[in-house]
Structure 1
Amino acid sequence: MKTIVFVFLYMIICSVQIYSISADELNLNAKAAVIMDAESGKILYGKSKDQKMPNASTTKILTCLYILEHCDIEKKAKVSKNAAIQPKVRLGVREGESYKVKDLLYGLMLESYNDCAVVLAEYAAGSVEKFEKRVNQLAGKLGASNTHFVTPNGLDGTDKNGRHETTAQDLAKIMASCIKNQHFLEITQAKQHTFTDDSGKRRFTCNNHNALLSTMQGAISGKTGYTSKAGYCYVGAVKQKNMTMTLSVLASGWPPHKTYKWNDVRKLVQYATDHYEKREIVADTSKIKEIYVKDGLKQKVLLKTGNLKVSFLVKKTDQIKVESILPSYVDAPVKKGQKIGEIRYLVNGKSQKAIPVYTKQNIKRKDYWYYFEKIIQRFTLTRECAMIKQIR
């Protein structure tokens, strides 16, 4: 019986070990990949994360974000000849037609239509070239410093500043900004969207091709991509175990290996949730309520701090410590709101966050007039005592 129990427990332990992936065991198909904490920007895992590479239709997340932030999505956009001749995959817009900007965004993100991207770019900036200049500026503001886009749809291209490319890390940064936009989430989470052109004569239905939305717990957004140069690509966002993570995989196989990218994404998410966790730490305030004041009219001054409840995304093996950095006393005069120290949060001995400690009140210094007044008071008291003795 003991042998059976031992074997059973051993099997359980082994099964847990199998599902805990180490960084060295990921074995990704992708040539470059990243998974990042969307809130802090902390990289949880990276493979060739700063290598510049073509990224196909994952480009469209930045095109979508720019339109949402700078355009009225209820207005109409007219189709140019340039937009109408874009290669597949395309909606099939015709020169001279008009479409609601909002509908074109669904075509852009759900079906990855290349012609929708060009219509939107020309609507927003007058031309693809002007639009890409603005989009690259936006990428820079988002911290995507290794990104240079030439086309709004992700088709391979080159201009005087270089070829169309980005990095796995930059894509994860861009997605972290995208998911803060509620309209972006509504569009990318829609299973289907039906609309017509402005005349009402042509009707279209777009279906969402992000398989992870229905097959991965916590998947909240994403965009696929493929060109012969870029291979299969994906950028997305996932919420699991109180963590919001953005991720990207570039060059994750070529035909017929269309599913490699999904396997890579699952490995990235499993690695992150196996090795990282959110911890909430609250500092003990019992020792920082007041401090001695040297040469002050009051012996002690009350103290105050900001919110001492801090959340950290750390490895499960990390050690977190909180320490108070305060002097033994403070010299008078003391001004209300004067910083005198801080509460430090350390992870593995390194300071990660500091909360200032301030004084809560004004306290004057014991100056010449203070001592003069004390002398007068003592003299008066001595004289009064002498008079009382005489009367007795």
Structure 2
Amino acid sequence: MKRHLSILLIIMMVFSITPQAFAKEKDEKKSAELAHEAKSAVLIERDTGQVLYDKNSHEQLPPASMTKIMTMLLIMERMEQGKLKMSDKVRTSEYAASMGGSQIFLEPGEEMTVEEMLKGIAIASGNDASMAMAEHLEGSKEEFVNKMNEKAKELGLKDTVFKNPTGLPEEGHVSSAHDMALMAKELLKYEKITSFTGTYEDYLRENTDKKFWLVNTNRLIKFYPGVDGIKTGFTQEAKYCLTASAKKGNMRVIAVVFGASTPKERNGQITKMLDFAFSQYETHPLYKKNQLVEKLKINKGKEKTINLVTSEPISVLTKKGEDIKKIKAEIKLKKDVSAPVEKAQALGTLTVKNEGKLLVESPLVADSDMDKAGFWTMTKRTLSHWAKIME
């Protein structure tokens, strides 16, 4: 009798556990197969940065033209600061025109606008356009590369060392799937960038006899709904690489593959990762980019306070069907901030927690420049202050 009861209990336990165990095993197996042919790969949700899939994501490898993600990031950052405009003219040096590999065939002395150069970089992966922009922004390749590495350090990227702004082979020029995903996450803060990275075809020099047809090296833009970036890469050493971004509904994800053997294999693995993300997860938006969150007092400023806004979209990610529990946002502001203040300067932090667990940490930034107050403004404030005390 005891023996029969024991057998019955075991059977009941097996049947009660097996469905969940099988489901978990199935999910793990499905996840493991997402990029099994790549050297390394990663899949993240953009707003939260949460990792949904990882394969050797910190392995240092040559990034090829995915390098241009950082090049574009520095261009967009400069525009956000108001120090560069799309209409600005950029002159091509002999050195920039001499770049090999992918190019838009710039000639020495040829001028294009920043907007046209961005098209050449984002769509055609132009090495010449990348170098021309690097020299325009910092005066030389070397100074621009210093800025690239400074930005990588600022973003906490530990696997990345840049030697050039193009991705052309150079000893010691390395990155990782993890770092590329975080660079892409940062670049996508600038929403206008996808109007370049998400364009499949366009033209340069349209009103001349040297009209040049641009076709995006990322074919998924045409064949996978929602894909709008970001950058492919290929060299004999790096093989086929891609950092892809796709958006469906409220959810945007970033998938990175290093070292695929063929373009078809690379695109296939990216497709599997995107399918996995959109079928298994959903994003719950909390804040839009540039949403006013707080006002901060500025010492000796032209105005007494400045608006602090979100620097990126802020969301919470869950498995599909999961409830959002106790979400709490906390704001921490810098103290004793004095003018001058630059637009986009980080002056606070917004954190989002779920039952005490940190989900998101994002900078709050100034929505405009603020100069120091002039003599008469400071005098009026002082007199007004004393008048209130004397009342």
TM range (shorter): 0.5 to 0.7
Counterpart of 2:385? none
Q: Alpha carbons of 1:45 and 1:92: their partners in 2 closer, same or farther (altered >3 Å)?
A: same
Q: Which of 57, 68, 93 does residue 49 from structure 1 map onto?
A: 57
Number of the residue aligned with 1:261: 266
Q: Is residue 193 from structure 1 mapped to residue 202 from structure 2 by the alignment?
A: yes
- Pairing 1:314–2:323 present: no
Mark the CA change 1:19 to 1:114 in structure 2 (over 3 Å): closer, same or farther.
Answer: same
Q: Within 5 A, what are the aligned runs for 1:1-392?
A: 22-70=30-78, 71-158=84-171, 163-196=172-205, 202-240=210-248, 242-253=250-261, 257-278=262-283, 312-316=316-320, 322=326, 345-346=354-355, 351-352=357-358
Could you tell me the TM-score, scaled by structure 1's length?
Answer: 0.64
1:206–1:26 distance in 2 versus 1, CA, 3 Å:
closer
Q: Which amino acid aligns with 2:98?
A: I
5+ residue gaps in structure 2?
1-24, 79-83, 287-313, 329-351, 361-391
Amino acid at match of 2:248: Q
Runs of at least 5 residues in structure 1 that lack an aligned partner in the other structure: 1-16, 282-309, 325-342, 355-392
Q: In the TM superposition, what is the alpha-carbon distance from 1:101 to its structure 2 partner? A: 2.1
User: Does the 8 A contact of 1:20 with 1:271 survive in 2?
Assistant: no
The letter of the residue matching 2:273 is: L
Q: Quick one: which amino acid aligns to residue 204 of structure 1?
A: F
**Structure 1 residue 193 displacement after superposition:** 2.6
1:212 and 1:64 map into 2 onto residues whose CA distance is 20
Alpha-carbon contact 2:181-2:256 (below 8 Å) kept: yes
Partner of 2:307: none
Report deviation, 1:62. Answer: 1.4
Aligned match of 1:301: none
CA-atom RMSD in angstroms: 3.1
Given the two structures, how large is their TM-score scaled by the length of structure 2? Answer: 0.65
* Alpha carbons 2:44, 2:50 under 8 Å: kept: yes
* Alpha-carbon shift at residue 168 of structure 1 (Å): 0.3
* DSSP-derived class of the 1:59 partner: helix
CA distance in 1 between counterparts of 2:358 and 2:77 reads: 33
Could you list the runs of 4 or more consecutive aligned residues of structure 1 that deviate by over 6 angstroms after TM superposition? 17-21, 317-320
Size of the aligned set, in residue pairs, is 281
Would the aligned equivalents of 1:121 and 1:128 in 2 still touch at CA under 8 Å?
A: yes
- After superposition, the Cα gap between the structure-2 partners of 1:127 and 1:319, relative to the gap in structure 1 and judged at 3 Å, is same
CA distance in 1, matches of 2:45, 2:53: 10
What SS class does the counterpart of residue 263 from structure 2 fall into? coil
- Same amino acid, percent of matched pairs: 28
Instruction: Assess, with a 3 A threshold, how the Cα gap between structure 1 residues 187 and 58 changes in structure 2: closer, same or farther.
Output: same
Tell me: CA distance 1:201–1:190, structure 2 relative to 1, closer, same or farther (3 Å).
same
Residue 106 of structure 1: SS of its match in structure 2?
A: helix
SS of the residue 1:217 aligns to: coil
CA distance in 2, matches of 1:54, 1:26: 21
SS at match of 1:190: coil
CA distance in structure 2 between the partners assigned to 1:211 and 1:202 by the alignment: 25
Q: How much has 1:155 moved relative to structure 2?
A: 0.7
Compare CA radii of gyration and give the structure with the larger one.
1
Whole-angstrom distance in 1 between the partners of 2:73 and 2:327: 42
Deviations 1:4-52 (A, max 9, x none): xxxxxxxxxxxxx999962233352211101101111111111001111
Structure 1 91/322 Cα, relative in aligned 2: closer, same or farther at 3 Å? closer
Alpha-carbon separation, structure 2, partners of 1:245 and 1:54: 23
Alpha-carbon distance, 1:115 to partner = 1.1
| Distance (Å, rounded) in 2 between the aligned partners of 1:25 and 1:190 | 30
In 2: Cα distance, 1:204 partner to 1:39 partner: 36
Query: C-alpha separation between the residues in 1 aligned to 2:357 and 2:327?
Result: 10
Q: Report the AA paired with residue 271 of structure 2.
A: R
